[in-house]
């Protein structure tokens, strides 16, 4: 379902793609920088913040909860925090737009402060499960009120007398883990989160940077994260790295568009985020890491991707799913342009993202002439080889930025143009996607309406 101001966009065969693609700041890190900045005492200065709709919604939420949040320049933001436990009751409903990360982390951050806050979002977010966060928050003493089914809109009444919690996450989710840790900041004693599979660890790293007492151990049950409650968080200077999940789009476009050679500099290759790049190399992609270095404690490299004739489908190890969970849509486009079958297992979580991403990609790829099989937690794409995707269809983005971007890239490598019914959601995570891709050689056409 497109939204009220749907913006159809068409990608015809384009390229070769050439040049340097400077992708914006990491979405996960940007949300966390604003939220932890709002919980610290004093001024946190952030550079390289992603100024996409999702993150801007989180900035507004932090203002409603009492922090001073100000934009001081391009990507430069200042946050004057209120200290842990210092949030005030918001005067109006907090609208997190399209952002699951925003709403789930903010619910966690306010759940151990005795205030009430009501959360809502767009049609996509209001259809996503929130019980995975409200259940553990209830253990701290917070209450959630809403219609049955655990969907937004929801009101959270923060715990009057919070108690610390030990919680084993039932699904591999950095959002759930982070919500529990942020709630733990407001509880006395130690909060413990156990995750069977490692998910992105930006919250743990950033909490340590802000001076929280946090320890991580690998045990037989998985990763055990222990956080000391009610710390005084020290404000930080945070340089947000560029987003590997956004970098995936120009990188994969270069791999599938003949004659391309694209450099994507300064990409964070934190192992909890870099699974796609490992997978692409196993498929035979001409993808190199240049100038590998460390920045702000994170491994970083410039990614260089060139058109790769003869990539082969592989079975993606399920244990890698968490480290590339947002990248399966664009991987499936590369898979369609590879030889043989790409099998993706252990990916049930894809069904509860901004859209049911297995269903959305399968439907669209089939419309483009690609054979796809799917089950509840797996799917398989039967590749047609380089340049072998027929295209020539209009597909639904389903209010999902990554679905929209994936199909625009599919169109750039297909025989006939591909139209997405609504490119507007791209602004949630990658507001400069269109100009950036055009500068490399993409020839998107907006529909005359």
Binding positions for 3-phosphoshikimate are 27-28, 32, 173, 175, 326, 353
Q: What CA–CA distance (Å, rounded) separates 296 from 305?
A: 25
Q: Nearest distance from residue 231's CB to ligand S3P, in Å? A: 21
Q: Which residues bind ligand S3P (CB under 6 A)?
A: 28, 101, 173-175, 178, 200, 325-326, 349
Closest CA to 288 of 254, 320, 256, 314: 254
Nearer to ligand S3P, 84 or 428 (CB): 428
Taken in order 382, 383, 384, 388, the sign of the CA dihedral is positive
Residue 411 dihedral angles phi and psi, to the nearest 5°: -65, -35
Collapsing DSSP to helix, strand or coil, 320 comes out as: helix
Closest CA to 23 of 308, 190, 251: 251
Positions at the binding site for phosphoenolpyruvate:
27, 100, 128, 175, 357, 402
Residue 34 dihedral angles phi and psi, to the nearest 5°: -70, -40
Q: What CA–CA distance (Å, rounded) separates 335 from 382?
A: 7
Residue 52 dihedral angles phi and psi, to the nearest 5°: -95, 165
Q: Nearest distance from residue 29's CB to ligand S3P, in Å? A: 8
Nearer to ligand S3P, 325 or 381 (CB): 325
Taken in order 356, 358, 361, 367, the sign of the CA dihedral is negative
| Cβ neighbours for 180, distance < 8 A, ≥ 6 positions apart | 108, 136, 137, 165, 167, 169, 191, 193
Nearer to ligand S3P, 200 or 320 (CB): 200
Positions at the binding site:
27-28, 32, 100, 128, 173, 175, 326, 353, 357, 402
Taken in order 407, 412, 415, 419, the sign of the CA dihedral is positive
Q: Nearest distance from residue 164's CB to ligand S3P, in Å? A: 22
Q: Nearest distance from residue 371's CB to ligand S3P, in Å? A: 27
Known catalytic residue: 286?
no
Annotated active-site residue in 54, 95, 243, 326 = 326
Q: Nearest distance from residue 320's CB to ligand S3P, in Å? A: 14
Nearer to ligand S3P, 404 or 414 (CB): 404
Residues with catalytic annotation?
A: 326
């Amino acid at each position: 379902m497109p939204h009220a101001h749907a913006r159809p966009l068409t990608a015809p065969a384009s390229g070769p793609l050439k040049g340097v693609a400077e992708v914006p700041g990491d979405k996960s890190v940007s949300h966390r920088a604003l939220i932890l900045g709002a919980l610290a005492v004093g001024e946190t200065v952030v550079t390289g913040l992603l100024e996409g709709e999702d993150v801007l919604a989180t900035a507004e939420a932090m203002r409603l909860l009492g922090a001073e949040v100000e934009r001081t320049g391009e990507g430069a933001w200042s946050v004057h925090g209120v200290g842990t436990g210092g949030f005030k009751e918001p005067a109006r409903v907090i609208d997190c737009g399209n952002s699951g990360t925003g709403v789930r982390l903010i619910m966690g951050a306010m759940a151990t402060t005795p205030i009430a806050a009501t959360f809502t979002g767009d049609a996509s977010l209001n259809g996503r499960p929130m019980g995975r966060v409200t259940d553990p928050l209830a253990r701290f003493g917070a209450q959630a009120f809403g219609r049955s089914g655990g969907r937004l809109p929801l009101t959270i009444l923060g715990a009057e007398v919070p108690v610390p919690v030990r919680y084993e996450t039932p699904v591999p989710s950095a959002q759930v883990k982070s919500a529990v840790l942020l709630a733990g900041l407001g509880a006395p004693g130690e909060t413990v989160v156990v995750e069977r599979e490692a998910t992105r660890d930006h919250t743990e790293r950033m909490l340590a940077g802000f001076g929280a007492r946090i320890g991580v151990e690998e045990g037989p049950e998985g990763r055990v994260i222990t956080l000391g409650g009610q710390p005084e968080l020290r404000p930080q200077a945070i340089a947000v790295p560029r987003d590997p999940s956004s970098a995936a789009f120009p990188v994969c476009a270069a791999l599938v568009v003949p004659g391309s050679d694209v450099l994507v500099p300064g990409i964070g290759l934190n192992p909890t985020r870099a699974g796609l790049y490992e997978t692409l190399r196993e498929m035979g992609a001409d993808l190199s890491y240049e100038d590998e270095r460390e920045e702000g404690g994170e491994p970083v490299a410039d990614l260089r991707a060139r058109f790769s004739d003869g990539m082969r489908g592989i079975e993606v190890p399920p244990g890698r799913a968490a480290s590339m969970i947002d990248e399966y849509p664009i991987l499936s486009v590369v898979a369609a342009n590879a030889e043989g079958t790409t099998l993706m297992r252990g990916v049930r979580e894809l069904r509860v993202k901004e859209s049911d991403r297995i269903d959305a990609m399968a439907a669209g790829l089939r419309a483009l002439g690609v054979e796809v099989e799917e089950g509840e937690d797996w799917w398989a794409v039967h590749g047609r080889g380089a340049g072998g995707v027929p295209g020539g269809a209009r597909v639904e983005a389903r209010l999902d930025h990554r679905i929209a971007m994936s199909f625009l890239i599919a169109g750039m490598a297909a025989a006939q143009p591909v139209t997405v019914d609504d490119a507007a959601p791209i602004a949630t995570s990658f507001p400069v996607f269109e100009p950036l891709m055009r500068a490399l050689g993409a020839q998107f056409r907006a529909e005359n309406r």
